[in-house]
Amino acid sequence: MTDGMASTEDDAAGRAVRTMVQTDTASSLLGIEVMLLEPGHVIMGMTVLDSMLNGHGICHGGYLFLLADSAFGAACNSVAGGAAAVASSCDVTFVAPARFGDVLQAEAVERLSFGRSGLFDVTVRRADGTVVVEFRGHSRRLPSAPSGSVAAS
């Protein structure tokens, strides 16, 4: 998860999110790659592995969520300001199944920022463009940004 992150402007938010992404063991071990990392706009890719399949032989919804959540986490921390942001809540809609070998892309876009809160839309698509998941994430900036103090996702 070390490629494609050249485009964020070289400010505090950019540096913080690059460090966050590069040290994300969970995403890295799943082969999640950053395709685009700009302020408020992130694309990540993941291939469905056989270790991700559920009892119906399709990708577990948890891994679809994890991909979307990783893109959301990077996007909400990529927005200028420098204070770390955390996911407070998310809504996810499962639109279509993903199967072994599917190459998925999650695109996260900032929809709105207000006060310390943010709203981001993430769409997960298969390579043919079919939507697999629609996700909306609520983020909240922490009062200050001590490294290592950030909550879930």
Choosing from 4, 38, 83, 138, the residue that interacts with a copy of itself (CB under 8 A) is 138
Nearest to 63 by CA among 87, 35, 88, 44: 44
**Least Å distance between CB 6 and a copy of itself?**
18
User: By CB under 8 A, is residue 150 in contact with a copy of itself?
Assistant: yes
Among 15, 54, 80, 127, binds a copy of itself (CB under 8 A): 54
- Cβ nearer to a copy of itself, comparing 6 with 151: 151
Burial bucket for residue 3 (CB in 10 Å: 0-12, 13-18, 19+): exposed
User: Site residues (CB under 8 A) for a copy of itself?
Assistant: 19-27, 29, 50-67, 69-70, 73, 86-98, 111-112, 114, 117, 119, 121, 131-134, 136, 138, 148-153
